Amino acid sequence: MSVGEGWRSEYPFESRWFGVDGGQMHYVDEGAGPVVLCLHGNPTWSFYWRRLVTALRGTHRVVVPDHIGCGLSDKPQDWPYRLEAHISNVERLVEHLDLRDVTLVVHDWGGAIGSGLAVRHPDRIANLVITNTAAWPSARIPTRIAMCRIPGLGALGVRGLNGFAGAAIFMASEAGLSANAKGGLLAPYGSWADRIATLRFVEDIPMQASHPSRATLQAVADGLKTLGTKPMRLVWGMKDWCFTPMFLDEWIARFPEAKVTRLEACGHYVMEDAPEAVIAAVRELSPR
């Protein structure tokens, strides 16, 4: 589908860049006060968090990076695009900005990346808001995602036809997306080269023990227990076909003290279907 420019009215933020492994990482840094760090997944980018930034920048400092290969960040064609590198890049940004007492908000791949940050730097993380994600190896993968991992066919569908990001704007929201939302979510992914990370994230799901990212993800999972004393809110779209309520149950088993908000009518894109629920969770954990 063609992408118009109307989405820019919903993303009126100053762009900033920081050099990391893989090139220049784009990020948003708006407001002042208690720090909120938001990490997106695949195939979204910082635009996904726009309503949270707008709602909180008057009372908080909201930092939202685009992972390398995503959004407005550089999209190198020969970078490894492994979980370890994404975690390391966020670590560098957090240390560069000296972010402390952070309320960490994560979604999709941002859950594994953000959890990696949190278990390595628990002293910098005050609270966590977890939305439709996982941070441990799983034996389950939806068929429609598994198909994107088939050599040749996956590249054709994801990079050639934009079949991952393009399908997500219809399949990841139960409420349906506005034209501006569709345009914004698709804007950075207009060509084969632009969609490099969209495919690499799918390929980096470590389904086998021999996968290059399996040890990294297992170390993150093993480290989650060190976060047990930190206040946590689980905000879950219950109609998510990817990170189903089974994943929510796993978070609850690991963090039985976490407060849970089940959004019965919401899909994977929680910030599109019910942004107010995530914003409320952040405000509850990090009042100004």
Active site residue 211: no
The catalytic residue among 40, 86, 107, 268 is 268
CA distance 183 to 188: 9
Residue 75 falls in which region: left (phi positive, over 0), alpha (psi -120 to 50) or beta: beta
Closest to 185 in 3D by CA, of 170, 199, 200: 170
Q: Is 240 a catalytic residue?
A: yes
268 labelled catalytic: yes
Q: What is the rounded CA–CA span in Å between residue 206 and residue 277? A: 31
Query: Residue 219 burial by CB count (10 A; 0-12/13-18/19+): exposed, middle or buried?
Result: middle
Q: Which of 29, 66, 204, 240 is catalytic?
A: 240
Catalytic site residue from 108, 194, 204, 273: 108
Residue with tokens 């996956």: 154
If one counts every other C-beta atom within 10 angstroms of the C-beta of residue 67, the result is 28
Instruction: Tell me the catalytic residues.
Output: 108, 240, 268
